[in-house]
Structure 1
Amino acid sequence: MADYNALVGDIASEVNGFIGASVVDLNSGMTLATRSARPDFDLEVASAYNSEMVKGKFRTVEALGLSSELEDMLLTLSDQLHLIKLINKETFIYVAAEKSKTNLALLRTAVVLQFKKHGV
């Protein structure tokens, strides 16, 4: 099993405009590791709500009878990018970054490279 604290720490150092990241247990919505650059950015709340969104997407894929597997989800806000990337069917990582300091390609690349580095 990967060291999730090291994973989020390395993502924090690699993503320009990093706001926060958490590794989340999908079933409970509880965080397994967190790192935040902003004390007012509540990763516990974001993680719990994001787990419901991921579960909803799993239900959508099933309802549509798709054979595809969910890999990641992206939310774009006016000033932020939020990436949710599945680690496995029970766990995902959530990363938030400032939109003005990074872009989707750089954010995804940083996360994928750290997944490889940490054997995720």
Structure 2
Amino acid sequence: MTENEISHSVIGAALEVHRILGVGLLESAYERAMAVELEQRGIRAVRQTLLPVTYKGVELDEAYRLDLLVEDLVIVEIKAVAAFAPVHTAQLLTYLRLANKKLGLVLNFHSESMRSGIKRVANNV
């Protein structure tokens, strides 16, 4: 699957999770539900993937864990916030750069409409 195909599948899964669970849960609940939904669709998603960071030649163990890494190509950052902030996009762009990935999605499950809670972020690797 290409990044675009994976992105399309992840968005479909997010719409389904949002439809069933609605608004108001913790990010961890949406993360787990997304992993289940993607698995049921035959798509491999790994939760809490370690993203090591090197700082001045020193590897910082467990600097960050990705919410979901889908098919080892697309990073998915789960949010449960009142509204997107510019930092959410910047955060995902940093993860994409550090992981050397091209595409990521920020999914905000506290949006009234899931379609308005989706941000696609591309990294010019």
| TM-score normalised by the chain length of structure 2 | 0.30
Tell which has more relative contact order, 1 or 2 (C-alpha 8 A, sep 6+): 1
